[in-house]
Structure 1
Amino acid sequence: MVFPKGAVDCHAHVCGPATEFPYAQERIYTPPDATVDAYRSLLEMLDIDRAVLVQPSVYGTDNRAILAALNQYPNQFRGVAVIANNPNHTTDQQLESLHQAGVRGIRCNIVDVADPSAGLPIENLRALAQKIQPFGWHLELLMHVNEHPDLAKVFEDFPVDLVFGHFGYSHAKHGVNDKGFQGLLTLLKNERAWVKMTGPYRICDGNLPYADMRPLNDAVIAANPKQLIWGSDWPHVMVKKQMPHDADLCDLFGDWVTDPALRKAILVDNPCILYDFPALNT
């Protein structure tokens, strides 16, 4: 697939070097080094101009690795950071510093830290949202939407934009009619949420071309293509199945999204709105 000029990879991680940016002791996995230089080489190979670096869980609230990348390449990268769950533990001055570095959202990992039976920590999420609202940031959620059938009701009046990773992280076996996934589609239609078209291999049982994932892909496009973004999910941490080459994943996106105007919206126009990228000089 040939990417349009100004394309943005909206979901990638940098990990390490561990000697310079050590991982949190409470991490649930230890990735190999996946440095910013290695990632930029991949972007060059794929001919992708810009990217969004998302704080991986192995660093907890220590954002130094992505901040170093943002400071080194301010025109090419934006960031999604992680801050303390208690909003009072992060000052406005610290948020302003993150904003100046290129951070445009914070990430909350609901998958690894929350008990589904306890429900969403909605009051805490709302407090975090109110904290970041003055900066125009969004809240990115890593969560299994199928575990929350009242998703649309819970988030219908949320203070900031929501971004759901990995198509809402609902396994393909649950199907598009799952109540939680339908709630995500409602939020999309009402422009209350964005969806990252990332990591199809994470939410299906088969290998490339992940045919059982295609209905979810088509459903989010039908719901609202103006609220969709794409990402490589590099370096594909915690994936135990066969992992294809990144170029093959790009080609898969091209197979699933064939209209050039729609590709440009998902790869260029939508990310520039969400992540505040400037127009490229032509």
Structure 2
Amino acid sequence: MDNFSSDVPRSTAQCLAPLDSVESPLFRVPEGACDTHAHVVAPGNGYPMVEGRSYTPPPAPEEKYLAMLAATGMSRGVLVQISVYGSDNRYMLEVLKRNPDRLRGVAVVTEDISDQELLEMHAAGVRGLRINVLFGGGTGFDAMETLASRIAPLGWHMQFLMDVRQLPELMPRMQKLPCPCVVDHMGHMPVSLGLHHPGYQALLHMVTEYGWWTKLSGAYRISDLWQDNYRDVVPLAQRLIEAAPERMLWGSDWPHVALSRMPDTGRLRNLLAIWAPDEQVRKRILVDNPARLYGF
């Protein structure tokens, strides 16, 4: 794993900046393709970061984000509230409002958020809330039932940044949530632990039996084979796609925070040529599925 060294104070650890260029596509990226997982970080000091954050990212402003979408062939995008801002969604919401036809968002809120605030977020393009238990600044599992009941009438989903080694214990609670659920980064568990690990088996169970969604993202967060195109992730990605091609999503995870080396965003997109060699399956993952979940 390539997270920061434990001897560096995490809140002050400076993230690398994303690469300026991207690898050319190895397949025809279909019209309407969507990158369902990226973040924006405002330039300047107008949006203070939370003290309990796990890392400090460089600016990744709207113009660089939109340029990344264009460079990777993406017509649409989904912004996920970055943990360093906690529940201050202002910058993400501003970017969404300036790009209403092209972008959607996943916010981070606390349990005391008002109904009016949720409605205003919906009007801005927010379609989900994120539970994050891996990085400081997130909302945890204690809030998920309350928040899920609040967002179900809006047609929103709950997104989980978690290590699925926690999933077997949490399944009795999560199976009762009244809204769709999405798991980030294929479960964010090292693939070296194997597909028969109870965590991955629990994820597959929720995908096949409870209609959960998964983001085919963050291969570099779970792989031991950076220099071999994350080859060890292929069996997991293909197994998830086989289990529920109609509920798979792709995301770049740009600007790739909290890593000690920087992946090529274009190469991450090109992994779909290996994971989903069938063109129609790739279209479902890149176009049809996100259009349905996010309401494009």
Q: How does the TM-score come out when normalised to structure 2?
A: 0.86
Alpha-carbon distance in 2 for matches of 1:16, 1:61: 15
Within-5 A mapping of 1:247-258: 247-258=266-277
Post-superposition Cα deviations, 1:146-180, rounded to whole Å, max 9, x if no partner, equal: 23324544422321111100001111111111112
Percentage of matched positions with identical amino acids: 41
Within-5 A mapping of 1:260-279: 260-277=279-296
Count of aligned positions: 268
1:231 is aligned to 2:257: no
Higher mean C-alpha deviation, range 94-103 or range 250-259:
250-259
Within-5 A mapping of 1:19-98: 19-84=45-110, 87=111, 89-98=112-121
Alpha-carbon distance in 2 for matches of 1:112, 1:163: 17
Alpha-carbon distance in 1 for matches of 2:176, 2:47: 38
Cα root mean square deviation, aligned? 1.8
Alpha-carbon distance in 2 for matches of 1:105, 1:176: 28
What secondary structure, in the 3-state scheme, does the structure 1 residue paired with 2:48 have?
A: coil
> Which residue of structure 2 aligns with residue 100 of structure 1?
123
Point out 4+ residue stretches in structure 1 off by more than 4 angstroms.
none
> Which residue of structure 1 aligns with residue 264 of structure 2?
245
Change (3 A) 1:192 1:157: farther
Q: Which runs of 5+ in 2 are unaligned?
A: 1-26
Alpha-carbon distance in 2 for matches of 1:157, 1:67: 30
Within-5 A mapping of 1:105-184: 105-112=128-135, 124-184=143-203
Give, in angstroms, the shift of residue 122 of structure 1. 5.2
Change (3 A) 1:236 1:113: closer
Alpha-carbon distance in 1 for matches of 2:198, 2:282: 28
Alpha-carbon distance in 1 for matches of 2:118, 2:291: 21
Change (3 A) 1:2 1:191: farther
What secondary structure, in the 3-state scheme, does the structure 1 residue paired with 2:277 have?
A: coil
Alpha-carbon distance in 1 for matches of 2:216, 2:172: 23
Change (3 A) 1:113 1:32: closer
Post-superposition Cα deviations, 1:178-212, rounded to whole Å, max 9, x if no partner, equal: 11211111111124310000010001222041111
What secondary structure, in the 3-state scheme, does the structure 1 residue paired with 2:215 have?
A: strand
Return the structure number with greater relative CO, CA threshold 8 A, min gap 6. 2
> Which residue of structure 1 aligns with residue 229 of structure 2?
209
Amino acid at match of 1:69: V
Alpha-carbon distance in 1 for matches of 2:190, 2:150: 32
> Which residue of structure 1 aligns with residue 8 of structure 2?
none
What secondary structure, in the 3-state scheme, does the structure 1 residue paired with 2:271 have?
A: helix
Alpha-carbon distance in 2 for matches of 1:204, 1:247: 17
Alpha-carbon distance in 2 for matches of 1:122, 1:68: 27
Amino acid at match of 1:7: A
Give, in angstroms, the shift of residue 14 of structure 1. 0.2
Alpha-carbon distance in 2 for matches of 1:219, 1:263: 15
Within-5 A mapping of 1:181-200: 181-200=200-219
CA contact (8 A) 2:234 2:274 kept: no
> Which residue of structure 1 aligns with residue 37 of structure 2?
11
> Which residue of structure 2 aligns with residue 280 of structure 1?
none
CA contact (8 A) 1:151 1:183 kept: no
What secondary structure, in the 3-state scheme, does the structure 1 residue paired with 2:242 have?
A: helix
Alpha-carbon distance in 2 for matches of 1:229, 1:39: 19
What secondary structure, in the 3-state scheme, does the structure 2 residue paired with 1:149 have?
A: helix
